[in-house]
Amino acid sequence: MGQKKDLTGSERSKIVRYLAEGCSSLKIAKLLKHDHRTIKCFIQNSQQGRKKRVEKPRCKIAAQLRKVNRAAAKMPLATSLAIFQSCNITGVPKSTRCAILRDMAKVRKAERRPPLNKTHKLKRQDWAKKYLKTDFSKVLWTDEMRVSLDGPDGWARGWIGKGQRAPVRLRRQQGGGGVLVWAGIIKDELVGPFRVEDGVKLNSQSYCQFLEDTFFKQWYRKKSASFKKNMIFMQDNAPSHASKYSTAWLARKGIKEEKLMTWPPCSPDLNPIENLWSIIKCEIYKEGKQYTSLNSVWEAVVAAARNVDGKQIKTLTESMDGRLLSVLAKKGGYIGR
């Protein structure tokens, strides 16, 4: 007797006929010379019939995906539940909603930017027109950055394998403070970074003294007379930068008139050094890294700055022509970074 052979079409027809005549499954197995278990399994499957296919929720809303896509575009930063409710789609689990939205959208945080009014936009356009023909390889772009022990809140997330526990993250009552860093970039060169002394609040006097002790003594003084003659110094409109005291002090240093770049209000997106700060922060806070002291985070900043090569800096400084054109195309609006 054969063991567990597949039934042919004629054998299946005979089984149905034998069952109609009142034969038992055991007798049918003997008549067809098949294993009893094979005959019995076929009879049970035939009696149960084919199960109805359960339609998944995702298939039900396939026809409404376009509506969901439009709702996601109209409702930035909305939850998946709010988006689906606006489309009158209910009863869809959160996991399914997120899986559908993942194909057409991304989870983002709101960007923080100073508000731009009409006056700001006009000044940004005037600034772009004024410096459109400038040789930006001769501009020194400067700014300050504050780094904390823990970094931005949302940067401590990442993938963790199944069965593994998330690493423990330190929690501080007062945040642990931070370090204020000043730096500049020109052409393909990084100036600094220099650390502002802990506890010092940068007002006009302390800012000028800081520049004297770091930028002028450690970098600017070593440059040639022709370099100093052509260099344009850029700083933003922070009160300590734009005050009469600071402007007069820089003028005594020979940085005045056309050598001191005017800066439009609310324009961090136009300063290429902001991109350098992003590169450094991504490096020092990668994988959710935290620091236990201000000296250790400062050492990390210095190490990350050393890893930034001249090509990266040159890419940032050479982006200025495109930024100016984008400002004019957007009529003074934000251009992104």
> For residue 230, what are the contacts with CB-CB under 8 A and spacing of at least 6?
138
Whether the CB-CB separation of 228 and 254 falls below 8 Å is answered with yes
Q: What are the CA-CA distances from residue 297 to residues 73, 178, 182 (Å)?
A: 40, 8, 14
Q: Which residue has the higher pLDDT, 150 or 165?
A: 150
What average pLDDT is seen over the chain?
Answer: 87
Q: Which residue has the higher pLDDT, 29 or 127?
A: 127
Q: What are the CA-CA distances from residue 208 to residues 7, 53, 69, 157, 245 (Å)?
A: 94, 76, 53, 40, 9
What pLDDT does residue 210 have?
Answer: 97
Q: Coil, helix or strand for 148?
A: strand
Whether the CB-CB separation of 334 and 113 falls below 8 Å is answered with yes
Whether the CB-CB separation of 173 and 306 falls below 8 Å is answered with no
- In 189-298, which ranges are E strands? 189-195, 232-234
Q: Coil, helix or strand for 167?
A: coil
Number of helices and strands in the chain (H, E): 17, 4
What pLDDT does residue 46 have?
Answer: 73
135 φ, ψ (degrees, to nearest 5): -85, 100
Evaluate if residue 220 carries a pLDDT over 80. Answer: yes
Express each pLDDT in 181-196 by its tens digit. 999 999 999 999 999 9
